Amino acid sequence: MAGMFRSRVAGIGSYLPEKVLSNFDLEKMVETSDSWIVERTGIERRHIAAPDQATSDLCLQASLRAIEDAKITVNDIDMIIVGTVTGDHPMPSTACYLQSKLGARKVFAFDVNAACSGFLYGLSIADQFIRTGMYKNILVCGAEVLSRYMNYKDRETCILFGDGAGAWIVTRANPGDTQIIESSHLHADGDLTELLTLPAGGSRIPQSHEAVEKGLNYMTMKGREIFKNAVRTMAQCCEEALAANNLSMDQVDWVVPHQANKRIIEAVAGQFDFPMERVIVYVQETGNTSAASIPLAFDWAVKTGKIKRGQTILLTAFGAGLTSGSLLMRY
């Protein structure tokens, strides 16, 4: 039955691979140091998927935990969305692999490629399908195995990125429920695509011996430009969410930003004079896990007693594209 409903976060889960790559490990691989990395990024370690683990394997672990937390069964899931840029294969979607591994019904399943904004894009899509009454329980997962696309001779990128997965069950709220997703605000600026790219592997530059020899199978990034645009776009998206809900930052309990770099997070908070004590920072443990970063940080913050039910939470992200977004909710 079609109608206007609201959605809420019913369950959350996350997964980090067992292998840890510390800054001290990187000192042996590239010209860098623990102090240099920590000072510039806040990152101390990152997790690396095992050779036999693909993105759908990480999704599976996070999703099972979210399903358990939501107190539903796999058969209750009506739709599966996976935000990733490092899918198991270019085709088919990682969401379809996840559907099979979960043993879910033959439900709507697809991937979203919005890089580090992928989880927010997925949440917003799930929110719309629930609002219209089409579906009741939607699994949204953000997951990456970025280590497969790192050049561990390139200090610009290899110190930043790690692997991981996070998943949420978004479900139809009961009438009168105040713990709901209030609004989401998504953007993209395709004029800035060259700032963060994975050049080879698509129709523009197919995989080939020549592409590999040129290093085009590795991620490339223009760090200074990314920093500037990240701060600008996330601050704007936060302002948009606050205005849409007639709120001030004083009424927000926690900000959960994309965990790209501690300096970026501090700069965004500084735009609002928002205290860092109310900003979730987990980048020290995970590095930048792209689409997985927000659900990983959120799950950690709930488990450590920071984020609690009923609180007002502002999520914000930016990523390659350049994509950006925010989502305001009462958890």
User: What is the sign, positive or negative, of the torsion defined by CA atoms of 200, 320, 140, 256?
Assistant: positive
Residue 88 maps to a domain: yes
Q: What's the rounded Cα separation, in Å, for the pair 93 and 82?
A: 9
Residue 2 maps to a domain: no
Task: State whether 154 and 242 are in the same domain.
Answer: no
Residue 247 maps to a domain: yes
CA atoms within 13 A of residue 302's CA, in its CB half-sphere: 20
Mean per-residue pLDDT, 91-106: 98
Question: Helix crossing, 34-41 with 262-271: angle to 10°?
Answer: 20
Given the residues 47, 59, 96, 116, select the one marked as catalytic.
116
Q: How far is CA 329 from CA 29, 109, 124, 314, in A?
A: 42, 24, 11, 7
Q: Is 261 a catalytic residue?
A: no
Task: State whether 168 and 185 are in the same domain.
Answer: no
Rounded to two decimals, the pTM is 0.96
Q: Which residue has the tokens 């894009």?
A: 121
Q: Are strands 220-221 and 196-197 parallel, antiparallel or unpaired?
A: antiparallel
Task: State whether 28 and 165 are in the same domain.
Answer: yes
The last residue of one of the domains, among 149, 172, 195, is: 172
Query: What is the residue range of 290's domain?
Result: 181-330
Mean per-residue pLDDT, 2-18: 91
pLDDT at 3: 55
Q: Nearest CA to 117 among 300, 286, 251, 294?
A: 294
Given the residues 47, 229, 258, 261, select the one marked as catalytic.
258
Q: What is the DSSP letter of 179?
A: S
Q: Is 258 a catalytic residue?
A: yes
Task: State whether 138 and 187 are in the same domain.
Answer: no
Tell me: pLDDT of 65 over 90: yes
Task: State whether 23 and 168 are in the same domain.
Answer: yes
Mean per-residue pLDDT, 206-232: 93
pLDDT at 4: 85
Task: State whether 102 and 145 are in the same domain.
Answer: yes
Residue 12 maps to a domain: yes
Question: What's the pLDDT band for 1 if we cut at 50, 70, 90?
Answer: very low
Query: Torsions phi, psi of 127, nearest 5?
Result: -60, -40
Q: What is the DSSP letter of 174?
A: P
Record the tokens describing residue 156, joined without a space: 């610009």
Tell me: pLDDT of 2 over 50: no
Residue 285 maps to a domain: yes
Number of domains present in the structure of the chain: 2
The last residue of one of the domains, among 155, 172, 189, is: 172
Q: What three-state secondary structure class fits 43? A: coil
Residues of the chain with pLDDT > 70, as a percent, come to 99
Long-range contacts, stretch 274-278, CB < 8 angstroms, 24+ apart = 274/249, 278/252, 278/253, 278/254
CB distance 184 to 326 below 8 Å:
yes
Query: Per residue in 130-153, pLDDT tens?
Result: 999 999 999 999 999 999 999 999
Task: State whether 167 and 186 are in the same domain.
Answer: no
Q: What's the rounded Cα separation, in Å, for the pair 259 and 327?
A: 15
Residue 1 maps to a domain: no
Residue 13 maps to a domain: yes
Task: State whether 200 and 166 are in the same domain.
Answer: no
Span between the terminal Cα atoms of the chain, in Å: 26
Task: State whether 96 and 15 are in the same domain.
Answer: yes
Given the residues 23, 137, 229, 288, select the one marked as catalytic.
288
Task: State whether 115 and 145 are in the same domain.
Answer: yes
The last residue of one of the domains, among 112, 140, 172, is: 172
Record the tokens describing residue 146, joined without a space: 């970025």
Query: Per residue in 269-302, pLDDT tens?
Result: 999 999 999 999 999 999 999 999 999 999 999 9
Task: State whether 162 and 19 are in the same domain.
Answer: yes
The CATH number that applies at residue 279 is 3.40.47.10
Note the maximum CA span of the chain. Answer: 60
Task: State whether 118 and 194 are in the same domain.
Answer: no
Q: Are strands 108-112 and 79-83 parallel, antiparallel or unpaired?
A: parallel
